Amino acid sequence: MILKFKTTIKMKCACDVITTLPHYLIKLFTACNKVVLGTEVSCGGKFAIKILEKNKLENSTKIQQIKKEQKIIQLLDHPFFVKLHWSFEDEKRLYFVLSFATNGDLLSLIEANNYLPVKCAKFYAAELLTALEYLFKVKIIHRDLKPENILLTENMHIQITDFGTAKYCHDKSHCESDEGKTMSFVGTADYVPPELLTQKSSNCSSDLWSMGCIIFQMLTGKTPFHDTNEYRVFEKIIKCSYEIPSSVENDASHLIQSLLKTDPSSRLGSKETGGFDELRNHPFFDVINWKNLSDQEPPRIAKRILTLDDDGYATFRQKKGIQRLQCSDPDDVDGYGLSITMSDEERLRRLDLQTKTKWDSYSTGGLILKQGALQKKRGLSLKVRYFLLTDTPKLVYIDPDTMELKGEIPWSDKMQTEVKTFKVFFIHVPGRTYHLIDKTGNAIKWCKKIEEVKEHFMTHPE
């Protein structure tokens, strides 16, 4: 797909200089509603292009939020943050051309390796500390720090992204005082600081809490307050109830405990505890050379990392080559699902094979094109369901423990999919949105298959 502007486009650069670029040409590899991967034809540089529909931004609050996010990203001038290169618009959309991190996000790296080696965790914790210190100096609270928002560049350094819920403090005292507290509920459950739950407020030290959660997750593969649903997670956070595995070294354990304090002013790195200098001097960071971290080579990880192929789809890259994501069908080596345009003979063969599986009874005569376990989120509830997409077309989900059919997503030509991250995607139907999470990083492939089936039945009605 080629997006070509035949007329001269004026793009506003991050430095507020208006640059005129005639015949700007971008090749779009991946269309995900919200974000696309693009290449500037003239130089071959890759960019992440965030696209916003104007008709969905009529709410003044949303417009102000976007302006605030744009202002914050423009303000940041540091290698550990995404950079806004250009912004422009047409009649229907706003476009933000951002730096593209080619190696996915920190969460994918953690999950691909189960957890990170101590040396690697120390290095990324040091980069995160440096980034937070910079944010504090420019008077910004991120408020949604989590591994998914920490991207990895081509050289495996971090780039923090997603400032949609960030808070800009007008001066340092405002940032640290009660007047600087925010009164809106933001963030992600596993990383939310207790003051946001108990006092509905957050300040600069709130990001230090999130840092403690991230260090815990890098070293153990899990978040410290993880539970079956968000309500229980919140209960644990308020009580600061967590256990550090005995496998975690003493220095790391002490640092985590020093960051996960219910009192924000008691967290290591806060103004009251000596600031970031004191945090930097913690024994956990003894091996770190703080000079020019962004120019150093990060510790190598032997195991696989999540990245993008040239076609824009997620795969795991290993030292010895590419390993495609596994799926339920042994012939479906790419995880995209079966083609709906297969021959009648092939379809009958597949149906015969399908009768030997435990999922056949839920297909009601249709051929299962794609299947897999997804987390289905609704309100505070997060439940694992096994989804089946058939060629009838139907999209049903089952409780894999009880094998009970739990529901069906209503199919219509108004159904729309939306990819949020490698793992998170939405299915919009009239009157409801389904929030789904694929822990294997197949969100793009699920949406691609659903759209393929939808397009087939719109162009070949039966």
The DSSP string of 158-176 is EEE---TT-EE-SSHHHHH
Write the CA distances from 115 to 111, 214, 259, 269, 298, integer angstroms. Answer: 7, 11, 20, 25, 16
Q: Which candidate in 16, 90, 144, 162 is catalytic?
A: 144
d(CA 166, CA 206): 12
Could you confirm whether 144 is annotated as catalytic?
yes
Q: What are phi and psi of 415, to 5 degrees?
A: -65, 135
With a CB cutoff of 8 Å and minimum separation 6, the contacts of 278 are 268, 269
CA 163 to chain centre: 13
Residue type, 124: Y
- DSSP 8-state symbol, 461: -
Residue for token pair 């495609």? 324
Q: How many CB atoms lie within 10 A of CB 242?
A: 18
Tokens for 334, please give them: 């790419």
d(CA 453, CA 214): 39
Tokens for 257, please give them: 């405990």
**Burial of residue 228 (number of CB atoms within 10 Å: 0-12, 13-18, 19+):** exposed
d(CA 224, CA 315): 28
Find out whether 228 and 234 touch, Cβ atoms under 8 Å.
no
d(CA 261, CA 267): 6
Write the CA distances from 28 to 41, 53, 90, 200, 453, integer angstroms. Answer: 11, 17, 17, 41, 22
Helix axes 118-137, 205-220, angle to 10 degrees: 170
Residue 312: closest CA among 27, 43, 93: 27
Sign, CA dihedral 76-82-88-89, equals: negative
d(CA 104, CA 314): 9
Q: How many CB atoms lie within 10 A of CB 72?
A: 20
Strand-pair category, 381-390 with 368-378: antiparallel
Sign, CA dihedral 184-189-194-198, equals: positive
Residue for token pair 């996000």? 105
d(CA 460, CA 462): 6
Active site positions, annotated: 144
